[in-house]
Each structure stands twice: as structure tokens, then as C-alpha cells.
């Protein structure tokens, strides 16, 4: 296939456009893709210097979506903003994927209106790759839908399974639902109803997992509503960051032998940090839409932007949108025949 074309919202995020442009330059040097930075052209071009700059083009957008802007307002101005224009490029086939560190609520609203959902999918979900001990786990929804119906959770399981198979190359992804106990009878009404639907879905559903299982790779895909999923995600990120700082402070405050031991352990500790650093995993796909959309942290650094572009490239090459449709459509036809 031709090189993936990735539209990047240059004005989205707490450190835009500086870190976004810097991340795009890193990606252009490392990955085979065509990158289009969408944003205030004079500001973006002033930053677009050095290795990789010749492989990046700029599409001017007169406005940007502020991080605090309400989604409904962002929809009204979408045709003028960097985020709206980047999504429109995917809709028109000018780009294969869009990446943004901007207002995630606005991103969801604009993408939902412009791209629409895949047939059989009611709501898109943010799928976060969770760095578990024995391999990655996909957690969804990580914040797109704070209130969910049981049938949406079943759809999330199907989408997560398709993503894990296509991008993480897991032959038969194990899908579980996050609950307050491992037993089939544990959970609120939403979880109990969703579990029955997940059993009937075209996936390998293994039942309930608890919060303590999140880092153990008991399941390849873990389903939750966006409220619970986002709380779990932010709690995990905060815990990993704090444990890293605590370990560093403990080693550096020790005596000579402790510091010497820390020096010898440094390569292994760097590897451990990389494994559990959210920036290494880049962005989170917004699954369920008729287009590839990658959400990343508002505070994303250039390294996070680089890896978010990598995630976008992987999703395009794996045809995740098509794979979700392939999994959902036969299931829909089977239900209609019953």
C-alpha cells in the first residue's frame, strides 16, 4: 500500500504547536508516512525546521479549539478549526487518519458527526493500550462515554477484540468485563446485562476481572464504561508515575553503596520505565468510527506525539475500521435471521 497519510492537529494540546510540530518531525524521521500539520500556517512553518521537515506539509486553519470549549460550540466552528479541518480531511479521503492532543470531547463530537459510526456500532470508544506485566491489554472505554448501555459495552468488547487481533497480533484475544468480583453473579445491573450480551458476541469472552487484575494480563481486552475506565486509567498512570519518583528518591537518598547499586541498575530501570510509560504507547484509538482517529494526552510531549502518529500508522495499515466491520456485520446478520 502507499504510505499512510496522517493529519495532525497542530494546535491541539497544552503545549501546541511547539511540541506537536517537534513530535511530527521525530515521526517523519522514523516512520514511512506522509504527515500534514493542520494549524496556523505562519506559526507552524516557523517551527518546521531541521531533519524531517521536507517530508511534512502544512494545511492552514484560521482557528483552534480551546481545551475548555464545550463540544457543541466546537461543532459550530469545526469548519474553521485545526481539529475540524483535520477530521474533514479523513472524511474526504485526503488523509487516512487524524491525530490530536486537543479537546477530547470536541474531537469525539466532531468525529462522530463528520465520520459517523460503523454499521452495528452505537457509540465509539477510546481504546487505551494498558502496559500489563505479561503483555499489553486493551482497556475500553477510557473516557468517551461516561454513561453506557449494556449493548454498548458488548460492542466495545467486539471492537477491542478486532483491534487486539489486527494491531497487537493476538490470534484469539481474551475479552473480559471489569467488575467488583470474579464470580459471574458479581456486578451492577449494567455489568450483569452486558455480560450476557458479551457471551453471545463473536469474541472469546472469559467473564469478569477485578481491578487487581489490570496489570496481570489475565485478559487481552477489558471492557468498562467510560466513567470507570477513565478513573482506572488515570489512577494507574498516577500510581506508576508516583512509584517511579519514589524509587528514584529512595535510591538517590541512600548511601554510597545504594547509589552504586542504582547506577548498575540504571539500564534495567530505564527499560522498566519505558514499558510502563504512557508516552511509549502514544495515542488511544477512537474505535467504532468510519475513519481512523487517535486521541492523545492534552499534556503530550513531542515523544508522545511521535508515538501517537505511529499508532495511527499501525491502525491504517491493519485496516482496523474494516476489521471491526468484518466482525460486527456477520453478527448483525445472524441476529436478524433469528
For residue 289, give the DSSP letter: B
Query: What 3-state class would DSSP assign to 139?
Result: strand
Instruction: Write phi, then psi, for 9 (nearest 5 degrees).
Output: -70, 95
211-260: pLDDT as tens digits: 888 888 899 999 999 999 888 887 777 766 666 677 666 666 777 666 66
Question: Cell for 95?
Answer: 488523509
Instruction: Write phi, then psi, for 149 (nearest 5 degrees).
Output: -90, 155
Spatial CA neighbour of 325 closest among 159, 170, 167, 199: 159
298-336: pLDDT as tens digits: 888 999 999 999 999 999 999 999 999 988 876 655 654
Spatial CA neighbour of 221 closest among 286, 276, 153: 153
Q: Is the pLDDT reported for residue 44 higher than 70? A: yes
Instruction: Write phi, then psi, for 205 (nearest 5 degrees).
Output: -85, 125
CATH 3.40.718.10, domain 127-280, yes or no? yes
Domain 1-121+288-319 and domain 127-280, same fold? Reply is yes
| In contact, 124 and 111? CB cutoff 8 Å | yes
Q: Where do the structural domains in the chain lie, given as residue ranges?
A: 1-121+288-319, 127-280
Which CATH architecture is the domain 1-121+288-319 placed in? 3-Layer(aba) Sandwich (3.40)
Instruction: Write phi, then psi, for 192 (nearest 5 degrees).
Output: -65, -40
Amino acid at each position: 500500500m502507499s504510505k499512510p497519510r496522517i493529519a495532525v492537529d497542530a494546535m491541539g494540546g497544552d503545549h501546541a504547536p511547539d511540541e506537536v510540530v517537534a513530535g511530527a518531525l521525530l515521526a517523519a524521521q522514523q516512520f514511512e508516512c506522509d504527515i500534514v500539520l493542520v494549524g496556523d500556517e505562519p506559526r507552524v512553518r516557523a517551527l518546521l525546521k531541521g531533519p524531517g521537515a521536507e517530508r511534512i506539509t502544512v494545511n492552514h486553519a484560521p482557528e483552534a479549539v480551546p481545551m475548555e470549549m464545550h463540544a457543541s460550540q466546537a461543532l459550530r466552528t469545526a469548519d474553521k478549526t485545526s481539529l475540524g479541518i483535520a477530521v474533514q480531511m479523513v472524511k474526504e479521503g485526503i488523509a487516512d487518519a487524524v491525530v490530536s492532543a486537543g479537546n477530547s470531547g470536541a474531537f469525539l463530537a466532531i468525529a462522530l458527526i463528520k465520520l459517523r459510526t460503523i454499521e452495528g456500532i452505537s457509540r465509539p470508544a477510546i481504546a487505551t493500550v494498558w502496559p500489563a506485566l505479561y503483555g499489553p491489554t486493551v482497556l475500553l472505554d477510557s473516557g468517551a462515554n461516561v454513561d453506557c448501555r449494556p449493548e454498548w459495552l458488548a460492542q466495545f468488547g467486539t471492537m477491542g477484540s478486532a483491534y487486539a487481533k489486527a494491531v497487537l497480533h493476538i490470534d484469539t484475544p481474551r475479552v473480559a468485563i471489569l467488575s467488583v468480583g470474579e464470580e459471574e453473579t458479581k456486578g451492577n445491573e449494567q455489568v450483569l446485562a452486558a455480560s450476557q450480551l458479551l457471551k453471545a458476541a463473536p469474541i472469546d469472552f472469559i467473564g469478569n476481572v477485578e481491578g487487581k487484575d489490570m496489570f496481570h494480563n489475565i485478559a487481552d481486552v477489558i471492557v468498562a464504561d467510560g466513567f470507570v475506565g477513565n478513573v482506572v486509567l488515570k489512577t494507574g498512570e498516577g500510581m506508576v508515575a508516583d512509584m517511579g519518583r519514589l524509587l528514584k528518591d529512595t535510591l538517590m537518598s541512600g548511601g554510597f553503596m545504594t547509589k552504586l547499586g542504582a547506577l548498575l541498575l540504571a539500564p534495567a530501570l530505564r527499560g522498566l520505565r519505558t514499558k510502563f510509560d504512557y508516552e511509549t504507547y502514544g495515542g488511544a484509538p477512537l474505535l467504532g468510527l468510519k475513519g481512523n482517529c487517535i486521541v492523545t494526552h492534552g499534556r503530550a510531549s513531542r515523544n508522545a506525539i511521535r508515538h501517537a502518529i505511529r499508532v495511527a500508522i499501525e491502525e491504517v495499515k491493519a485496516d482496523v475500521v474494516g476489521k471491526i466491520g468484518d466482525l460486527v456485520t456477520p453478527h448483525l446478520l445472524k441476529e436478524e435471521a433469528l
